[in-house]
Amino acid sequence: MPKDLDENEKELKAAYALLKETQAQLIQSSKLTALGELSAGLAHELNQPLTVIKGLSQYLLRSCGPQSQDHEKLKLIVEASNKMEQVIKHLMIFARSETLAFKPVDINNLINDVFPMVKELLVSGSVEIVLDLKPVPTVLGSAGRLEQVVINIVANAKDAMPDGGRLTISSFTEVRGKQTFARLAVSDTGCGIPEDVKERIFDPFFTTKEAGKGTGLGLSISYGIIKEHGGEITVESAAGKGTAFHITIPAGE
């Protein structure tokens, strides 16, 4: 019996939504690939002259002494080259070509391991931290890279709550059909993300922070890392109320 029109239309709509989603992911991953290729060359070329600038300005800073009228200017050069070094380090992460040896990782252990660093990050603002860790399946991955994702998200949460607030890290198991996933959610009660900004936050170099403060690489790196783990990262946010990042990684031994 032929399917009725309604049902056909529903299927078509679902297929179209899936196509849109796949297309969005493809665009995101091709952006990252392009950036990876560009970064490999750039990072290499920039590192050498930067080493010279940094080395010489540090030398001059030491030798001219704090009384010199150029002392402050030299300090600015040293600080600026430190900042550039950070950006280059970020780029190197995109540029690396080796594939990592993945090992079994327990997300809850990872959160406990990274917790002192999270506390350290939030220590200056009056941010309450809530941990809500439920049993999760083991995932296959790189604990170091996954820790980096948590740190990136927490650093953003900190910036979103300059007047304090609450950071919640929770974990739990999700079962979808035959697949089991470890889920991790990091939420804040910060400024939230406006609709038009939301679609760009995972783009490399997208930042709303003032010049010199953000490189706009934190979330695009995190996105790449979660994709490497076969997982998903999504955001949910209400302007003025807060933001939650949800990470899903398939279970694996």
Ligand X SMILES: Nc1ncnc2c1ncn2[C@@H]1O[C@H](COP(=O)(O)OP(=O)(O)OP(=O)(O)O)[C@@H](O)[C@H]1O
**Shortest CB 94 distance to Mg ion, Å:** 15
Q: Which of 145, 147, 166 is nearest to 157 (CA)?
A: 166
Q: Which of 160, 167, 225, 226 binds ligand X (CB under 6 A)?
A: 160
The stretch near ligand X (CB under 6 A) out of 69-77, 114-122, 150-158, 225-233 is: 150-158
Residue number of the CB closest to ligand X reads 218
207 binds ligand X (CB under 6 A): yes
Strands (E), 6-133: 103-105, 127-133
Least Å from the CB of residue 110 to ligand X: 19
Q: Under the criterion CB under 6 A, does residue 147 sit at the interface with ligand X?
A: no
**Residues 215 and 86: beta-carbon distance below 8 Å:** yes
From the list ligand X, Mg ion, none, partner contacted by residue 248 (C-beta under 5 to 8 A by kind): none
61 vs 49, 52, 65, 122, 126, CA distance in Å?
A: 18, 14, 7, 32, 36
**217 touches ligand X by CB under 6 A:** yes
Distant-in-sequence, close-in-space partners of 40: CB < 8 Å, separation ≥ 6 = 95, 97
User: Cα separation of 133 and 144, whole Å?
Assistant: 19
Among 61, 184, 201, 225, binds ligand X (CB under 6 A): 201
Residues making contact with ligand X (CB under 6 A): 152, 156-157, 160, 188, 190-191, 193, 197, 201, 206-209, 214-220, 243
